[in-house]
Structure 1
Amino acid sequence: MVMEWQESMCIDHGGLDADHRQQHELIRRFVAAPPLEEERDLALGCLHALRKVTLRHFTREEAVQRAIGYPDAREHAEQHRRLVGLLDDIIDQLERGDSPFQYGYLKGKTDEILQFWFFDHFAKADLKLRRHVERFQARSASS
């Protein structure tokens, strides 16, 4: 079961949070999909949608980081590239269908990886960004 979205996870109360919620929902839907071969296309649809939302989100987040002068922007962008690479590898493996592992096994491992992928990056990188966004928003509001 995927950890529920909580308001304490908000970063900017805007586009970044909307993207995170979409990513979270797509991961939740992927994890909820039955690990049955006949459900592979449904699961892959979730992953392709997740990739599209993730690419848009990473572009948005990196633009915000540049705009506010975020000091860890370069490292954060590198994490984004690695995460997209991991997602591409997952999609490729599930699409190939020629794996020596059964789909149910691959799906179960992917359930775990996606949740770690999202929450580890979110907890270690995105939540650090929040205080910089808050300071920037406060400075902008007082100008």
Structure 2
Amino acid sequence: MQTLIERLRQPRIMTLPLAVRRQVLFDRMATAGSLGTVLVVDRSGRVLLDSDDATPEQVSVASQKYFIVQRDDPHAGFYISDPYSSPLRFGTPSIALSKRISESDGSFGGIVVLVISLDYFRALLFR
């Protein structure tokens, strides 16, 4: 997740065409595909980029605890949410692992979040 945040800070990457930008940003996350979906969320809670979808749903995650914790605490670090119903995955029970994106002046710039369905853990336990 840290590598993704560092790449997001590179202005040249953000000017690339969307398909190329997604490939550059999410290349290391490709192996996490079965694990979950990686999202880049702006400071207002709007999903900007989705590792699974070239055109992310126009939904806000601003009311989700994994967003609020990162927005309100610049020292939160890596946050693991309690299970919740994901608005991005049709209410699928999930957990979120989030990390804050800070602007160069330290202000809140958004988050990177990995959303993992609880079904992933069930599958691991019942193999």
Q: TM-score range by the shorter chain?
A: under 0.3
Larger radius of gyration: 1
RCO higher in structure (CA 8 A, sep ≥6) = 1
TM-score normalised by the chain length of structure 2: 0.26
Higher helix residue share: 1
Higher strand residue share: 2
